[in-house]
Amino acid sequence: MRIIGAVTPRRLEILRRADAIVVEEMKATGWYRKIWQSFAVLLPVKSVGVMGDERTYDYTIAVRAVESQDGMTADWVRLPYPLLEKLASRIINEVQGVNRCVFDITSKPPGTIEWE
C-alpha cells in the first residue's frame, strides 16, 4: 500500500478504502486497462474541512494515474473531469478520516511513478 509516514492499522484502513474506490471507478469507466497504473496515496497531511455542519481535521488522499511504456518515463493521464469529480466525492464521502482529495499531475521525470 502507499502510505507516506507512519503505518498504523487506522491509516492502512483509510488507504485500503480509498484505493478500492479508485480501482472500482477506474474499472467501471474502462480506464483501468487503458493505462499503466492508477492508485491512491495517503499523505501525512491533515487539513481543516467541513462535513455537514461540523469542522473536521482529516487526512488528504492523492490519486495518481500514469501512462508508461517501460516504467522509466511516465506521463500523468488526463482523466475526464467527471471521473475526477466522482473519485474525489466518493473518497471524501465514503472514507472516514479523509476530507481532501488531490490529483497528482507530475510526470516522470522529474517525479517518480510511486510516492516514496
**Does residue 116 belong to any structural domain of this protein?**
no
In this prediction, residue 45 carries a pLDDT of: 92
Domain that holds residue 74: 9-104
Q: What is the CATH number of the domain that holds 68?
A: 3.30.300.10
Please state, in angstroms and rounded to a whole number, the distance separating the CA atoms of residues 29 and 24: 9
**Does residue 33 belong to any structural domain of this protein?**
yes
Domain count within the chain: 1
In this prediction, residue 1 carries a pLDDT of: 56
Kindly list the distances between the CA atom of residue 19 and the CA atoms of 7, 78, 95, in Å, as whole numbers in the listed order: 16, 19, 10
Q: b/e string for 19-40 if b means 16 or more Cβ within 10 A? A: bebbeebbeeeebbeebebbbb
**Does residue 44 belong to any structural domain of this protein?**
yes
**Does residue 84 belong to any structural domain of this protein?**
yes
**Does residue 113 belong to any structural domain of this protein?**
no
When comparing pLDDT for 3 and 62, which is higher? 62
* Per-residue pLDDT tens over the stretch 54-112: 999 999 999 999 999 999 999 999 999 999 999 999 999 999 999 999 999 999 999 99
